[in-house]
Amino acid sequence: MITGSVVTKRKLTPDLARGFMLLFIALAHANQLIILEGREITFIDQLTVFYRQVFIDGRAFPLFAILFGYGLHQVLKGQERRGNSWKDTKKLYRLRGVWMLLIGFFHATLFFADIIGVYGFIALIFVGFFLRLSNRKIIIIAVACLILVAVFAPFMPRGFDALNTLVTTSATIKDPIEASITRMFEWIFYTPILSYQVIPGVLIGILVARFQIIDNPRNHKMALCTVAVLGLLLSTAGGIPMALMSSLFWTSYNDVWGVTAKSLHTITGYAGGLGWTALIGLVVIKLENNRGMFSKAIAALGQRSLSFYLFQSIIFVIILAPYAGGLGGKISQLESDLIGIMVWVLSLIVANYMQYRSISGPFETFLRKKSVVS
């Protein structure tokens, strides 16, 4: 059985990044429960969708994929310090992958934008292979996957619908049982398919962990500055064409421009993920000896990111779903963002309380207990 523990000080950068990016997840998810049918599109709606497409959509999940890859490598190093064999470590990853798939499946019965199952699928199928690769092979596979993403992303849209596009999804179904069954089938199909969009970020995260870039940000300050500036500039520039289309500021484009914009939006999202990681690493340098209450609360939220990712979905369904609070049929794009921010602030408050009381995230604890190999 894999037992024992090694007490190590948690690194601030990954926790701060996860906690902060849950705000982006909240902004990306809340609007997906808005029902557009019969709505007048206002200029404020257009502006809201434009900024969200440039800065939020497709920019949070690459960062979480990078942090997931980073975490996988850290687990490997932890197992090596304990003297556990590679065979047992692979079993741990597979167990964790299975349980993440189950959590993702049940999450999908509630909310259709699940990513936990994708991480579980990757942990179950690919991690044993990825973690044994050389740096050179990781880079080659990551580049190959990014090419696939560029080619296929326009045909597997994620948040590309324009304001005037009425799409019938499980979010609009008023019967909760019918909505859940619909999401189950969607999840079973999309979870393995979407893994190819997450794999590049996971591979990048493994490299980030190997070079200890965010473990010791002060030692990589110049590199972090460069990546932050270039990554966020590329991400912003690459998101503008799709943002103009989705917000209806640009409506006269042809199919070639449409396909190109979708590819650019998706590919540059990885640059954004790297840029945000680097920027938060730079912030951590300033916070090392002067952590305020706000940064501590964000880090506490990041330590419990899985639990609060699920918590946010539950709150959004309660407030917005047509079979619950029903506000999704009444609020505007901007109002959905305000709800997203309020739910994130609520998450901060609860996470900070849990940290003060030394209460771990329930789903993090569950995964740890279920990942014991005997």
Q: How far apart (Å, rounded) are the C-alpha atoms in residues 231 and 249?
A: 25
Q: How far apart (Å, rounded) are the C-alpha atoms in residues 55 and 24?
A: 9
Q: How far apart (Å, rounded) are the C-alpha atoms in residues 145 and 156?
A: 15
User: The tokens of 75 are what?
Assistant: 């687990």
DSSP character at residue 156: S
146-168 burial code (b ≥16 CB/10 A, e <16): beebeeebbeeebbbeebeeeee
pLDDT at residue 249, as a whole number: 94
Cβ proximity of 323 and 174 under 8 Å = yes
Cβ proximity of 49 and 161 under 8 Å = no
DSSP per-residue letters across 36-103: -TTPPPPHHHHHHHHHHHHHTTTTHHHHHHHHHHHHHHHHHHHHHHTT--HHHHHHHHHHHHHHHHHH
Q: How many CB atoms lie within 10 A of CB 4?
A: 9
Q: How far apart (Å, rounded) are the C-alpha atoms in residues 179 and 168?
A: 11
Q: How far apart (Å, rounded) are the C-alpha atoms in residues 360 and 363?
A: 9
Q: Exposure of 255 by Cβ count < 10 A (0-12 exposed, 13-18 middle, 19+ buried)?
A: exposed
Consecutive 10-residue averages of pLDDT for the chain (374 residues): 45 91 93 79 93 90 92 92 90 94 92 89 93 95 92 73 61 80 87 90 94 89 95 96 92 90 93 93 84 90 96 94 87 93 97 96 93 74
Q: How far apart (Å, rounded) are the C-alpha atoms in residues 164 and 248?
A: 8
Q: How far apart (Å, rounded) are the C-alpha atoms in residues 97 and 199?
A: 14
pLDDT at residue 52, as a whole number: 92
Instruction: Using the structure block, give the residue that is written with the tokens 């008023």.
Output: 174
Q: How far apart (Å, rounded) are the C-alpha atoms in residues 186 and 169?
A: 10
Measured CA distances, 87 to 121, 128, 135, 140 (Å) = 19, 9, 21, 26
pLDDT at residue 26, as a whole number: 95
User: The tokens of 150 are what?
Assistant: 């560029």
**Largest interatomic CA distance in the chain:** 62
